[in-house]
Amino acid sequence: MSTLVIEPIPVLSDNYVYLAHDPETGATAAVDPPVAEPVLAALARKGWRLSHILATHHHGDHIAGNVELKQATGCSVVGARKDAARIPGIDIEVAEGDSFLLGAAPAVVMETPGHTSGHIVYWFPDTPALFCGDTLFSLGCGRLFEGTPDDMWSSLVKLRGLPAETLVCCAHEYTATNGRFARLVERDNPALKARIDQATRLLAAGRPSVPSTMGVERAANPFLRADVPAVARAVGMDPGSDPAIVFAELRRRRNAF
Ligand code: ZN
Ligand code: FE
C-alpha cells in the first residue's frame, strides 16, 4: 500500500505535468512533460529525483520534454506499445491490463482510444489516482483526432467505473470553458454548479482547478453522462438513444462552442 504525493506543474499555455512521488521509495514520475526546465526546477524545489516519465500519448505537448529529461536524470520512459514509434525515448512498452511498480506504488495501464489511437492512462489504485492525459478533462473530454465517438465513449465508460475518490489528473486546464459548455447541457445539475463554483474559486486564487475526482466528474461531466435522459434531451434526442450517438452530438457541439 503506497500512496503517491501528487504535484501539478503548469507548463506551456494550459498543460499540466504531474509529478507523482512515492515517499516510501523516493521513486518519482513526471506525466506527459512537453518541456524539461520547469519539471527539473520543480524536482529541485521538492528534493525529488526523477525515476520515470509516463507518456499518455504522442502529441508534442505531452512528449517533447522526454529526451532532455531522460538525458538530465537517467529516468525510464513508459509508453504504449502500440505507439512505441511515436513516443520519444520509450524504454518500457505497456498495453491494456499491464501493471508495473512506481517504487512501491502499483500502476495499472488502460487503453483509451479516441483522442489518439494509442492513448493510454495510468491508474494507481492505492492513492487512488488516474493520469488520464487528453482522454478525460474536468467537465470535458479530448477531441477525437484518431478515433470514433464509439471508441471514445467506450474509453470514458471504462474510466467512469473507477472509484469515486479517484483523483482525476488530466493534462489541460480547460475546466472554465468546459464548465460554460456543460451549463448549456445540464442547466439544473447541482453537482455541475458546485464543481463550477469550486473551480472558479481555485482559478481566481491562481491555483489549478485540478485534480478533480471521479465521483464529481461522474455527477457533473456531460461527456460521462451521455446515457442520462436529461443529457440526451438537451441535444434534441430521445432519452434511451444510443449513448455513443448522444456523445457524438455533445462532442460535435463542443467543437463548435
Ligand atoms: Zn493530445
Ligand atoms: Fe494535449
Mean pLDDT of 99-112: 98
Distance of CA 95 to the CA centre of its chain: 17
* Range 18-22, long-range pairs (CB < 8 A, 24+ positions): 18/131, 18/169, 19/43, 19/46, 19/48, 20/54, 20/102, 20/105, 20/124, 20/129, 20/131, 21/46, 21/48, 22/102, 22/103, 22/104, 22/105
Whole-number Å distance between alpha carbons of 253 and 68: 39
List, for residues 9-35, the tens digit of each pLDDT value.
Answer: 999 999 999 999 999 999 999 999 999
Q: Return the pLDDT at 102.
A: 98
Find where cell 478515433 sits. 147
Cβ neighbours around 187 below 10 Å, total: 11
Q: Return the pLDDT at 74.
A: 98
Find where cell 478525460 sits. 136
The answer to whether the CB of 131 falls within 8 A of the CB of 165 is: no
Which ligand has the nearest atom to the CA of 61? 2
197 catalytically annotated: no
Expressed in angstroms and rounded, the spacing between residue 167 Cα and the centre of ligand 1 is 20
59 catalytically annotated: yes
Residue 47 confidence class, pLDDT cut points 50, 70, 90:
very high
Q: Return the pLDDT at 147.
A: 97
In the chain, what are the domains?
A: 1-95 (3.60.15.10), 111-257 (3.60.15.10)
User: Mean pLDDT score of the chain, rounded to an integer?
Assistant: 98
Q: Return the pLDDT at 68.
A: 98
Expressed in angstroms and rounded, the spacing between residue 133 Cα and the centre of ligand 2 is 7
Which ligand has the nearest atom to the CA of 58? 1
Q: Return the pLDDT at 2.
A: 87
Integer distance in angstroms from the first to the last C-alpha of the chain? 43
List, for residues 126-185, the tens digit of each pLDDT value.
Answer: 999 999 999 999 999 999 999 999 999 999 999 999 999 999 999 999 999 999 999 999
188 catalytically annotated: no
Q: Return the pLDDT at 134.
A: 98
Q: Return the pLDDT at 85.
A: 98
21 catalytically annotated: no
Mean pLDDT of 32-55: 98
Q: Return the pLDDT at 158.
A: 98
Residue 1 confidence class, pLDDT cut points 50, 70, 90:
confident
Expressed in angstroms and rounded, the spacing between residue 82 Cα and the centre of ligand 1 is 16
Distance of CA 221 to the CA centre of its chain: 13
Residue 223 confidence class, pLDDT cut points 50, 70, 90:
very high
Which ligand has the nearest atom to the CA of 17? 2
Residue 219 confidence class, pLDDT cut points 50, 70, 90:
very high
115 catalytically annotated: yes
Expressed in angstroms and rounded, the spacing between residue 119 Cα and the centre of ligand 1 is 9
Q: Return the pLDDT at 83.
A: 98
The one catalytic residue among 21, 58, 115, 119: 115
Comparing CA positions, the residue from 103, 102, 18 lying closest to residue 62 is 18
Residue 93 confidence class, pLDDT cut points 50, 70, 90:
very high
Q: Return the pLDDT at 248.
A: 98
Which residue(s) pair with 99 in the sheet? 108
Whole-number Å distance between alpha carbons of 84 and 91: 9
